[in-house]
A and B are shown apart, each in its own frame.
Chain A
Amino acid sequence: MIELRNVGLKYGDKEILKNVSLTVRDNTIKAILGPSGVGKSTILKLMLGLIKPNKGQVIVDGTDITNMKEASLYSIRRKMGMVFQGNALFDSLTISQNLGFFLRENMKLPEEEIERRVEEQIQFAGLEGYEDQLPESLSGGMRRRVAIGRALIFKPHMILFDEPTAGLDPVSSKKILSLISSLRHNNNLGAVIVTHIIDDVFNVADCVAVLYQGEIIFDDVTEKLHNAQHPFIRSILSDKILEL
């Protein structure tokens, strides 16, 4: 479980998050919906302890990580997998090497076990035949699937997606969304999906929080989003995509 309690964050003089409280439970898929530049990626980075809030607390599985030292954060982070907005694959490594990279780095597993897990992710993500290619030679949708595989290979119990369908064509988007839905049934995994595309929310999320001007203006199960009264939510329900 991940909790943000009254979190505020500034970049320089710019206040990005004013007072954000959020809970992400295990075994559920939670979406955070908001326009570009509102601070969605920032929230994910806070959850991983990559950046520190100016006020409030970040709590992961009951541990307050707000002021934790980088060295102690590493073990907390390994419980979570992160899929970055631009994938953040290592461009000098092949697909298999990218998938196995952090297992080799941070887990003392025997090499056969690592290879078995890499093979498993290759199959799950439908990347057979691309094992020895570099990320640059893959399509956007495939690269996203590699990034998802790299996060899943750890067997985390929470996975964070930063705009999983942004920049993908409709077919690839659908593939990614069904991949994400399948996680819920297979792996007993919780997920946070940050997005500015409302269809993503209705497709995969159990519950959704809407972030607008530094504050959470809605936080409930997805079905109730239709009945929300806030003018911003009304306008996005009619427009579908948030281009602000």
Chain B
Amino acid sequence: MLLTFVRNREKAIALWLKDFILTMQEFFLFSVRTFISFPKVKRYWRDVLDQATICGTDSIPIVLVSAISIGSLLAIEVGNLLEDFGAKTMLGRSTSLSVIRELGPLLMGLMLSARFGSRNGAELGAMQISEQIDALRAFGTDPVAKLVMPRLVAALIMFLPLTALSDYAGLQSAAYMAEHYHRLDPGIFWNAVYPRLAPKDFVVGFLKAPVFAIIITLVSSFNGFSARGGTAGVGRSTIKGIVVSSGLVLIANFYVSKIVLENM
């Protein structure tokens, strides 16, 4: 009894592992195909612009909301902590570092993974199950070049200004809270921000934008392309896309920080 249970378990794990490796291989090829279709960007410029509106302009509200809330929260909490040590004048430095290096980009990545990633997953998944992607191939158009590459280019371009916006809104709201909640003079706050920021702080933050753009776009598009089994299948693949890309955003966030801060 126990033995058959263990055997079945082994079989299931072997099967799962095989499936996983095959999927990874497909994902790798999918990514390669996306990157090698970059030369067609001029031909699909209109699609790039459409996608830039969707992932850039239309994402501004959610990026602002998350940046403002994280900036204010940080200022309040860190301020309380620093007050215990009588080091409230350091508030600008600690919040600006957290916002620019870590929490700003991370939260933005998670928000975009939910917003842009889910949209990609659902849209491409619906196109897959209604055979529109097969139709592109059947009539001689490369669906990766037409559908995925423009999304990636748009994300690569737009995530940078979104990061800048997110940093700016986060810092401004932190400064606002410092002044009105902690009664800290704005001059003292900003004095602890600007002169202390090193280039590497910006490199960390802004390097995350293209890394997240690649993760979110490729993972969500790949899952859309792999959708099978009707409407429910689109739901499943969309969820999978968001879960996987959010997880990868968290991991990449850690490693980009680690690698850049250790090496610069």
Measured CB to CB, the residues of A under 8 A from B are: 45, 48, 50, 70-71, 74-75, 77-78, 80-82, 84-86, 88-91, 102, 105-106, 150, 154
Cα A70 to Cα B137 in complex, Å, equals: 9
Residue of A88, A89, A91, A102 near B141 (CB, 8 A) is: A102
Residue of A70, A77, A85 near B139 (CB, 8 A) is: A77
Residues of B104-136 contacting chain A, CB below 8 A: 130-132, 134-135
Find out whether the CB atom of B132 lies under 8 angstroms from the CB atom of A88.
yes
Tell me if B102 is interfacial: C-beta within 8 Å of chain A. no
A175 to chain B, nearest CB (A): 22
Residue of B130, B132, B140 near A106 (CB, 8 A) is: B140
A227 to chain B, nearest CB (A): 36
> Chain B contacts of A75 at CB under 8 A?
140
A146 to chain B, nearest CB (A): 12
Some 12 contacts from A to B, beta carbons below 8 A apart, are: A70-B142, A71-B142, A77-B139, A82-B135, A82-B138, A88-B130, A88-B135, A91-B130, A102-B140, A105-B146, A106-B140, A106-B141
The interface centre, meaning the residue of B135, B142, B146 with most chain A CB atoms within 10 A of its CB, is: B135
Find out whether the CB atom of B130 lies under 8 angstroms from the CB atom of A78.
no
**A interface footprint on B143-164 (CB within 8 Å = 1, 0 otherwise):** 0001000000000000000000
Find out whether the CB atom of A88 lies under 8 angstroms from the CB atom of B131.
yes
Find out whether the CB atom of A88 lies under 8 angstroms from the CB atom of B142.
no
> Chain B contacts of A154 at CB under 8 A?
139
A90 to chain B, nearest CB (A): 6
> Chain A contacts of B146 at CB under 8 A?
105
Question: A102's closest neighbor in chain B, by CB?
Answer: B139
Find out whether the CB atom of A50 lies under 8 angstroms from the CB atom of B132.
no
Find out whether the CB atom of B132 lies under 8 angstroms from the CB atom of A48.
no
> Chain A contacts of B139 at CB under 8 A?
77-78, 81-82, 102, 105-106, 150, 154
> Chain A contacts of B132 at CB under 8 A?
88-91
> Chain B contacts of A105 at CB under 8 A?
139-141, 146
Q: How many A-B residue pairs lie within 8 Å, measured between CB atoms?
A: 53
Closest 9 CB pairs of A and B: A88-B131, A88-B135, A74-B140, A102-B139, A82-B138, A84-B131, A78-B140, A106-B140, A105-B141
Measured CB to CB, the residues of B under 8 A from A are: 130-132, 134-135, 137-142, 146
A133 to chain B, nearest CB (A): 18
Cα A238 to Cα B116 in complex, Å, equals: 54
B168 to chain A, nearest CB (A): 34
> Chain B contacts of A77 at CB under 8 A?
137-140
Find out whether the CB atom of B142 lies under 8 angstroms from the CB atom of A48.
no
Question: B131's closest neighbor in chain A, by CB?
Answer: A88
> Chain B contacts of A90 at CB under 8 A?
132, 135
> Chain B contacts of A81 at CB under 8 A?
139
Find out whether the CB atom of A86 lies under 8 angstroms from the CB atom of B140.
no
Residue of A74, A86, A102 near B130 (CB, 8 A) is: A86
Find out whether the CB atom of A84 lies under 8 angstroms from the CB atom of B134.
yes
Cα A80 to Cα B139 in complex, Å, equals: 8
> Chain B contacts of A45 at CB under 8 A?
134
> Chain A contacts of B140 at CB under 8 A?
74-75, 77-78, 102, 105-106
> Chain A contacts of B138 at CB under 8 A?
48, 50, 77, 80, 82, 84
Cα A81 to Cα B140 in complex, Å, equals: 10
> Chain B contacts of A89 at CB under 8 A?
132
Cα A85 to Cα B135 in complex, Å, equals: 11
Cα A102 to Cα B141 in complex, Å, equals: 8
Cα A150 to Cα B140 in complex, Å, equals: 13
A195 to chain B, nearest CB (A): 17
Question: B137's closest neighbor in chain A, by CB?
Answer: A50
Cα A105 to Cα B139 in complex, Å, equals: 9
> Chain A contacts of B130 at CB under 8 A?
86, 88, 91
Find out whether the CB atom of B141 lies under 8 angstroms from the CB atom of A86.
no
12 A-B pairs besides A48-B137, A86-B130, A88-B132 with CB distance below 8 A are A50-B134, A74-B141, A74-B142, A77-B137, A88-B130, A89-B132, A90-B132, A91-B132, A102-B139, A105-B139, A106-B140, A154-B139
A84 to chain B, nearest CB (A): 5
Cα A71 to Cα B140 in complex, Å, equals: 9
Cα A80 to Cα B138 in complex, Å, equals: 8
